[in-house]
Structure 1
Amino acid sequence: MKAELIAVGTELLLGQIVNSNAQYLSRQCAAIGVDVYFQTVVGDNPDRLKQALAIAESRAELIICTGGLGPTLDDLTKDVLAERLGRALVVDQPAMDKMTKFFAERNVVMVASNTRQAMTLEGSVSLTNDTGLAIGTAVTQDGKSYILLPGPPKEMIPMFRDYALPWIRSIMTDELPLFSKMLKFAGIGESNLEHALLDLIQEQTDPTIAPYAKEGEVTIRLTSRAATEDEAFSKMEPVKAKIVSRVGEYLYAEEDVTIEEVIFRKLKDNKKTLAVAESCTGGLLSDLLTAIPGSSTVFKGGVVSYSNELKAAFLGVPAELLEGVEAPGAVSSETALAMAQGLLERAETDYAVSITGVAGPDPSEGKPVGLVYFGVASMNAQAEVIEARFNGSRETIKLKAAKSALYYLWKQLKA
C-alpha cells in the first residue's frame, strides 16, 4: 500500500514549528508495510489543500493528514475533505459529550466554534482523542483511504497508535512489514564508504542498502520486507557479511547508537575510567561524553587547555614544546602526546585522550585550518598520536575532531 502524508498548517511553512509528525508517521507506516513515497506541507488555505489532496489521490492509496482539526476558522481539513468526498459533517455525540463535560468541570463557557472539534464526516470512523478534544477521522471512498489526525504530537501520536493504526491494519491485504538494521561506522567518510560498497549498492534488491551521514559518522541502513523480524534479518545476514568483510574495521555498532555510547559501555563493562584534554574543540568532546546518563561512572573529567600556559600548568606539557623558534608548537604531534600522557598521570585514569589543532577561521602558528592532532594514552598500551585534516566551518571542524577522537579511543579499546 502506498501512502502520502499531508501536514496542514501555515506555521509549518513559516518555519515556526518543525514537522516531527512526518518522521513518526513514516516510521510507523514502514513498520507495517505501508510505503510512504511523498510528504507534503500545505498552509491553511482551502484551495491549496484541495490541490494537495488531488495530487495525493493520483499517486497514493492511503492519505494521512495532520493538523487543521481545531476550533478556529483556519482549521479546515475536515471541511475540505468533506466537500471533496461529497459528505456532510456531523456531530460525533461521544466527542461532544466529552467536550461539554470538559468545559463544565472548569466552569468555562464553551463557545460555539468548539463544536467543530467534535465534527466528523458522515459515514466515517471517528478516532478518539484521549489527550485532547479534536477527534480524528478515518474513511474509505472510491478506492482511496483517508485519515485525519490532529497536529500537536501529544495528541497525534496516541491517536495514531491506538486508533488509526488498527484501522489501517484492517484495510490492508497482503503487505509485508519492513524491518531495518543499522550499521554504524566511524573513521571513514560517506564517499569512501560508498565507494567500497558501490557494487553492492548498485545490485541491491532485497535487502536494500542505504548510506547516510552525519558529521563524523556514517550509517548504513539495511532494509528488508518479510513476514517476521527473524526472516528479515536472515535475508540481511549475507549482505551484512560482505559489508563487514570490506569495511568492518570502521564498524562500531550494529544498532542505532552513537560511538560515545559504545565507548561508555565498554569502559563501564571493564571498570575503566577516562579523562580528556581539549584545545581546539573547547570542551565539545567532554560535552558528548557527559550527555550520556551515568557517564560519571567512567568519565573522570576534562581539561580545556586552550592556552599554552594551561597546557604547561595543568598537563605538564614541557615549555620547550610550546615556545621558541625551534619548538614544534601547540599544534603538533609532540604536544598532543604530552597532553595525553600528562593527563593520564595527573588524573590517575585508565585512558586519556587529547586534541589540539586549528579550527579556524584563520591559520595558527603557520599551520593550516583543519590540521588536528590526537593523543591516546592508557595504562596498559603504548601511547599513540594521530594526525588528521578536516575541512568545513569552525563548528564543523570542531565536531569532526571530537568524533574522530572518539573513534581513535574506540580502536584502542577494542584492540
Structure 2
Amino acid sequence: MSKYKAEIIAVGTELLLGQIANTNAQWLSKRLADYGMNTYYHVVVGDNLERVTATLEQAGKRSDIVFITGGLGPTDDDLTREAFQRLSQQQLVEHQGSLDKITEYFTKNNRHMTPNNRKQSLVFQDAHVLANDVGMAPGMIVEYNQVLWVFMPGVPREMKAITDHQVLPYLDKKLQLNAVIQSRMLRFIGIGESQLEHHLKPLIDAQHNPTIAPLASEGEVAIRLTAKANTKTEALQLLDQAESKVQNHVGDYFYGYDEEVIQEKVVQMLEHNSMTIAAAESLTGGKFTDTLVSVSGASNVCKGGIVSYTTDVKQNILNIPKEIIIQDGTISEACATLMAQNVQKTLNTDIGISFTGVAGPSEVEQQPVGTVFIGLYHQSGKLIVKKFNFQGDREAIRNRAVKKGLELIYQFCQMDNKWV
C-alpha cells in the first residue's frame, strides 16, 4: 500500500475571500484515495509571491508529493511558477507545443494575443509537461529535492482532465502505487455523538484498518469507515467486516449510507407502507413540508401542510378550541395533539404531524426559547407527543425540530406502526 504523503496547495486570493469554494482539493483528495494515496494537508494561499514561496518551502519539508492548483495563468498575480523558481532555482523555458496551441486559439477566434499570454507556455526545463486539452496553460511534474511537484491549472475542468488522463497514470506507473483507499459513511439518527462514541469505544480503541471516525451534524451523527488495501475488492471486504461490528453495537439507530439523507428515507418508507402524511406547522413555518417535498417522489406521500403560525389560524383553520388555548396555551402537549389530529382529518391522510414551540428570540407563554412540542397521530388512533428543549439560535432550533420530526416518522415506520 502507498507510503507516500500527499499535500494539496490551492493558490488564489479569491479562495481566501470566499468568492470561490476550494472544490479542487475535495475532488483531488477523493481521486488520490482511489489510488491508495494519503492526503495529509490541504493548504490555501493567496496571490502573494512571498507567501506562496514560503508555503511551497514548508510543503517540501513534510510531504512526498505536492499538488499545486492555480497560479499558472497569464496575469501578474499568477505567481506559482515564480514562487517555485525562487525555491528551486530551476530555469523556466517556453514549451513550444503549448505556445503554438495558445497562438492558434487567438488566431481562430480573431483576437489579438497580448504578450502576457506567452507566460502560460512557460514550464521548468526538466519538467514532465502535462498537455492541457481543455484549456491553455499546461501542467507539469517536477522532481526536486526528493519531492514530486505536480503543477496544474486552477480551473476545475482543466485540473480534473489533467489529473485523470495524465497525472494519475504517470504516478501509478512511476510509484507503483497498487493500492486503494475506500470509505463508507454510515448514518444514524436518534442517538447523540457522545452516546454513539460510548457504544463504539471498544471498536474505536482497537481500530487500525479500517479506521473509524465519528462525525456529528445537526440532529444526527455518522461513522466514516476508511479501509486501505491492495485492491478495491479487499478494501470493500474490510469495510463490510467493520460495518458488521458497528451495526452489532448501534444498528438500531442506523438509517442510511454515504450521501443519503433522512428525508429521502422517510419518503421511501412512507411509500413502502402506502401511507400519506400532512403537517401542521407553527414555529417551523412550513420548513418540514418544504424539506419533505424536496425529495423526488414526495408527492406520493405528502398531501400538503398548514402553516398555523398565529393563534387565530390555529383556531379558525385547525379548529383548536379557544378553551385549550386559554387553559394550556399554544405551546403545549394539548395543542400539539389537536394540531396533529386535526391536520390528519382535514387533509385526509394516514398521518398528521405537528410542530409548535418557541424559536426565539424571547420566551412565549412563559415557555423558554428552545421549547418544542411535536405531535404524531395515525388515523388508527395511535398518538405520540414529545417535548424537546433544543439549543442554538432561532434557525438552529427550527432545523432541529424538523430533523426530530423526521426521526419520529422514521421510527414509527420502522416499528411496523406500533408505538413503544
How would you bin the TM-score normalised by the shorter chain? Answer: over 0.9
Select which of 190, 196, 199 maps to 1:196: 199
Q: Does 1:7 align with 2:14?
A: no
Q: Does 1:20 align with 2:1?
A: no
Shift of 1:175: 5.2
Alpha-carbon displacement from aligned partner over 1:148-206 (angstroms, at most 9, x marks no partner): 12222233223323322222222323452111111101122222222222232122111
CA distance in 2, matches of 1:263, 1:98: 53
Question: Does the Cα contact within 8 Å between 2:36 and 2:177 map onto a contact in 1?
Answer: no
Tell me the matched-pair count: 412
Shift of 1:251: 1.1
CA distance in 1, matches of 2:147, 2:341: 67
Helix, strand or coil at the partner of 1:151: coil
Equivalence map 1:185-334=2 (5 Å)? 185-322=188-325, 324=326, 327-334=327-334
Tell me what 1:76 maps to: 79
Question: Does the Cα contact within 8 Å between 2:187 and 2:221 map onto a contact in 1?
Answer: yes
Q: 1:90 to 1:273 in 2, by over 3 A?
A: farther
Shift of 1:219: 0.9
RMSD: 2.0
Q: 1:340 to 1:21 in 2, by over 3 A?
A: same
CA distance in 1, matches of 2:414, 2:339: 23
Select which of 36, 58, 67 maps to 1:33: 36
Equivalence map 1:14-413=2 (5 Å)? 14-174=17-177, 176-322=179-325, 324=326, 327-380=327-380, 382-413=382-413
Alpha-carbon displacement from aligned partner over 1:30-75 (angstroms, at most 9, x marks no partner): 2211111112222222222222112111111100011101100111
Question: Does the Cα contact within 8 Å between 1:312 and 1:319 map onto a contact in 2?
Answer: yes
TM-score, length basis structure 1? 0.93
Counterpart of 1:392 in structure 2: which amino acid? G
Q: 1:127 to 1:272 in 2, by over 3 A?
A: farther
Give percent identity, aligned residues only: 40
Helix, strand or coil at the partner of 1:184: strand
Question: Does the Cα contact within 8 Å between 1:137 and 1:147 map onto a contact in 2?
Answer: yes
Alpha-carbon displacement from aligned partner over 1:81-107 (angstroms, at most 9, x marks no partner): 244333322233332232222222221
Counterpart of 1:363 in structure 2: which amino acid? E
CA distance in 2, matches of 1:173, 1:162: 17
Q: 1:20 to 1:199 in 2, by over 3 A?
A: same
Helix, strand or coil at the partner of 2:317: helix
CA distance in 2, matches of 1:373, 1:9: 48
Question: Does the Cα contact within 8 Å between 2:7 and 2:67 map onto a contact in 1?
Answer: yes
* Unmatched 5+ stretches in structure 1: none
Helix, strand or coil at the partner of 1:315: coil
Question: Does the Cα contact within 8 Å between 2:37 and 2:180 map onto a contact in 1?
Answer: yes
CA distance in 2, matches of 1:117, 1:137: 12
